[in-house]
Amino acid sequence: MLSSGAIGSPHLLLLSGVGPAAQLQSAGVPVLHDLPGVGQNLRDHPSATVLLRVVGERPDVQAPAIQVGLRYTVEGSYLRNDMQISPILMSSEHRPVQVAINDDDNYLGISCSLQLALGAGELRLTSPDPHVQPFLDYRYLTHPFDRERMRQAVRLAVHMAAGPAFKDLVIARVLPTDADLATEDALDDWLMRNLGTSHHVSGTCKMGPSSDPLAVVNQYGRVHGLEGLWVADASIMPDCIRANTNATTIMIGERVADFIKAGK
């Protein structure tokens, strides 16, 4: 099962009757193999965007905006390089869907993306129909340390946007508002209303030993308890890497393909 992401493989496994037995039965799928970890351990890079109205004309959607970024360790964090801050185009897929933006104006986003979130979510089957999308419960910021780090990152991005390097560019900060920044509780509330995915979903077919109740595949990508079935995509990562997932997913596919050819 060679696929491009961490949603397709667990969805296909669940539809095929491989996964948590109770969930399969409730969705009307006959249980082929009870494997509790399928769809569990959903990992991602939760992201929130500081939105600025800026001077100039709106750049083309293909403009090379994400050429620079700040990768750093949040103050007080024991996890190295656990935050990434970078500019994003508001004409791209990262545009906050909940914010009404005047398309005649020019906007810049500063994205704050948590790299090693401690919270984990779940992908659940909702129907035996393969055309019905599974339910993704990201459970962002359910861990207090994740909320703390995101608050710090957003405040840092707001501070940078108010600095001298941006003074000739920024007309106004749109989000978060001063009221959103007034207290930790207010900022938490804003984060929960504005947080989104970095499109780096991982971990839903976790690699690990058979003794791990959440492990779905072994070190070769082979599904535990079944013959002739492998998974090779971002879903087998035990955690989301501290980077975009594309290159690592390509490597996983090539490596598992070699294992299959070698009879692993």
DSSP 65-95: -TT--EEEPPTT-SSTT-EEEEEEETTSTTS
Q: Give me the sign of the Cα torsion angle 84, 87, 92, 97.
A: positive
Q: Torsions phi, psi of 234, nearest 5? A: -65, -15
Measured distance CA(155)–CA(176) in Å, rounded? 9
Annotation says 131 is catalytic: no
Q: Crossing angle of helices 184-194/144-161, nearest 10°?
A: 90
Question: How far from chain centre, in Å, is Cα 4?
Answer: 14
Q: Measured at the alpha carbon of residue 40, what is the angle toward residues 39 and 41, in degrees to the nearest 5?
A: 125
> Among residues 11, 45, 94, 200, which one is catalytic?
200
Measured distance CA(3)–CA(229) in Å, rounded? 13
**Checking phi first, is residue 80 left (phi over 0); if not, alpha (psi -120 to 50) or beta?**
beta
What letter would DSSP give residue 133? Answer: P
Give catalytic residues, as residue numbers: 200
